[in-house]
């Protein structure tokens, strides 16, 4: 289990580096399409993903029901936390709220795909 978690962390690091390069390219060539706070959004979503997957890997060592409960609670808290961040930002900076929300949505969906890939790998292993 520890080896699988280490492999996930390496994969997450590489994925985050690719996302950072992509975010830099988009902000450089098409500055109006992405929020200027995209690096913070990227780190927030990557950090949340790391914490959740580590919790799920830990829960998988125990009963299946514990894994299922942990997965549902963690997913709900992840979405709730990101909605709170989006709402707080939208109230303080209305001019950039749409770009910020879309940036979080895109990063959330991409990291969700990575999370699901690794959880399926955990299930197979």
Q: Where are the domains of the chain?
A: 2-124
Q: What is the pLDDT of residue 123?
A: 78
Tokens in use for 58? 């830990």
Distance CA(49)–CA(42), nearest Å, equals 11
Q: What pTM value is reported for the model?
A: 0.89
Residue pair 64/4 in contact by the 8 Å Cβ criterion: no
Q: What is the pLDDT of residue 40?
A: 95
Q: What is the pLDDT of residue 51?
A: 93
pLDDT in tens, 90-104: 999 999 999 999 999
- What is the arithmetic mean of pLDDT over 77-92? 95
CA distances to 12, 47, 73 from 44, in Å: 13, 5, 18
Question: In which band, very low, low, confident or very high, does the pLDDT at 31 lie, cut at 50, 70 and 90?
Answer: confident
- Percent above pLDDT 90 for the chain: 65
Taking the CA atoms of residue 80, residue 86, residue 87 and residue 89 in that order, the dihedral angle to the nearest 10 degrees is: 140
Tokens in use for 22? 């992509």
């Amino acid at each position: 289990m520890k080896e699988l978690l280490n492999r996930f962390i390496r994969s997450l690091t590489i994925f985050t580096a690719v996302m950072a390069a992509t975010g830099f390219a988009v902000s450089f060539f098409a500055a109006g399409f992405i929020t200027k706070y995209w690096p913070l959004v990227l780190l927030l979503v990557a950090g949340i993903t790391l914490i959740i997957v580590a919790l799920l890997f830990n829960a998988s060592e125990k009963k299946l029901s514990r894994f299922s409960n942990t997965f549902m609670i963690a997913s709900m808290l992840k979405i709730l936390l990101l909605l709170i961040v989006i709402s707080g930002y939208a109230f303080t900076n209305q001019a950039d709220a749409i770009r910020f929300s879309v940036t979080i949505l895109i990063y959330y969906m991409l990291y969700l795909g990575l999370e699901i890939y690794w959880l399926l790998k955990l299930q197979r292993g």
